[in-house]
């Protein structure tokens, strides 16, 4: 039998098998490529003030989502903020359970279609965070202040936190105890030279110059810390003696004016009655009636003079007292 010299015809079954194998390789390659396209989080930071704590990171997701996990140093991971497109997660409710504990968080990256993902997602760990040592102190508030003579009394209000005990929210003082200090910076309103006082309570009682106005602000301090020791300064408050002085002067002037008005009214009525009696005296009636009217006029005139004299004394006394008070206030302030 002659050997055929024509070309060899390929086997159809072998061609199909090779095509299927090539397609499977492409599918697996696409899956691997899809996994590597998921971007992992970076620049993970803790943002915490008075134990209100937010975990932040980058970048903004495009074709993926994030899930946050948090754990105490020796505890189990707990999921927070599932499959989120945000780049922050509030973890306050976890860290306030024990603010002296050290926590670790990690941010997991998933493909946007998480149902098709069967592999463990990539993740990035955060730095460790101990709330008691690292949370920032918020700006304190001056609750009240009063300057009496040579004493300035200032009371600071503690900020409330989200730390709970017996179903009640605790203040910074409740959490830190004597570790929490306040520093008062104060100075005369007419100068810039500052002095300071420190207390581990919420009140200041300091010596000042009588009659001088003072300005001041406070700052919270945790002296046992190495970092984040100080809070921002509170808004500046100032005492004001001018307001008290003007109120007293207004009262004094009002009293003097009232006395003057009463004096004028009484004097006017008295003069009117005297004139009426004198008019009757110069009338047609004579004799005993004329004498009687003259006596009445004389008696009434004496009464008018007596009332006028008493009111004059009262007015002089009020003016003298007012002048003495004004002079006293003047020298008190100068």
Rounded to whole angstroms, the Cα distance separating 165 from 152 reads: 35
Q: What does 273-312 look like in DSSP terms, one character per residue?
A: HHHHHHHHHTSS--HHHHHHHHHHHHHHHHHHHHHHHHHH
Rounded to whole angstroms, the Cα distance separating 142 from 239 reads: 13
Ranges assigned E (strand) in 112-247: 123-125, 141-148, 151-157, 160-165, 168-171, 180-188, 195-199, 203-207, 214-222, 237-238
What is the reported pLDDT for 261? 86
pLDDT band at 334 (very low <50, low <70, confident <90, very high): very low
Residue 74 β-bridge partners: none
What is the reported pLDDT for 245? 47
What is the reported pLDDT for 242? 57
Residue 35 has pLDDT above 80, yes or no: no
Terminal CA-to-CA distance of the chain, rounded, Å? Answer: 139
Kindly report which listed range (246-250, 253-257, 305-309) carries the lowest average pLDDT score.
Answer: 246-250
pLDDT band at 1 (very low <50, low <70, confident <90, very high): very low
Reported pTM: 0.62
What is the reported pLDDT for 308? 60
Average pLDDT over residues 322-334: 47
Rounded to whole angstroms, the Cα distance separating 124 from 106 reads: 5
What is the per-residue pLDDT across 153-184, written as a single tens digit (0 to 9) for each?
999 999 999 999 998 999 999 999 999 999 99
Residues near 183 by beta carbon (within 8 Å), at least 6 away in sequence: 196, 197, 198, 218, 219, 221
What is the per-residue pLDDT across 249-278, written as a single tens digit (0 to 9) for each?
566 777 878 878 887 877 777 777 777 766
């Amino acid at each position: 039998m002659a050997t055929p010299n024509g070309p060899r015809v390929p086997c159809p079954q072998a061609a199909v098998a090779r095509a299927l194998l090539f397609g499977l390789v492409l599918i697996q390659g696409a899956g691997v490529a899809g996994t590597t396209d998921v971007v992992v989080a970076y620049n993970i930071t803790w943002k915490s003030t008075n134990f209100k704590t937010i975990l932040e990171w980058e970048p903004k997701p495009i074709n993926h989502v994030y899930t946050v996990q948090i754990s105490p140093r020796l505890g189990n991971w707990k999921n927070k903020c599932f499959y989120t497109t945000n780049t922050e997660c509030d973890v306050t409710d976890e860290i306030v359970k024990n603010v002296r504990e050290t926590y670790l968080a990690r941010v997991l990256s998933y493909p946007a279609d998480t149902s098709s993902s069967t592999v463990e997602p990539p993740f990035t760990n955060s730095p460790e965070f101990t709330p008691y040592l690292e949370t920032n102190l918020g700006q304190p508030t001056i609750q009240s202040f009063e300057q009496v003579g040579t004493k300035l009394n200032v009371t600071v209000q503690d900020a409330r936190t989200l730390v709970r005990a017996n179903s009640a929210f605790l203040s910074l003082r409740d959490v830190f105890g004597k570790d929490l200090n306040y520093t008062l910076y104060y100075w005369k309103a007419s100068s810039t030279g500052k002095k300071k006082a420190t207390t581990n309570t919420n009140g200041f009682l300091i010596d000042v110059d009588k009659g001088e106005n003072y300005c001041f602000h406070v700052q919270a301090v945790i002296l046992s810390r190495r970092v984040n020791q100080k809070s921002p300064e509170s808004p500046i408050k100032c005492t004001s003696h001018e307001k008290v002085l003007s109120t007293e002067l207004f009262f004094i002037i009002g009293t003097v004016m009232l006395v003057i008005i009463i004096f004028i009214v009484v004097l006017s009525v008295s003069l009117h009655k005297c004139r009426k009696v004198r008019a009757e005296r110069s009338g047609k009636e004579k004799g005993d009636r004329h004498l009687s009217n003259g006596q009445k006029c004389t008696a009434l005139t004496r009464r008018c003079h007596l009332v006028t004299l008493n009111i004059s004394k009262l007015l002089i006394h009020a003016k003298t007292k007012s002048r003495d008070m004004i002079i006293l206030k003047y020298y008190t302030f100068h």
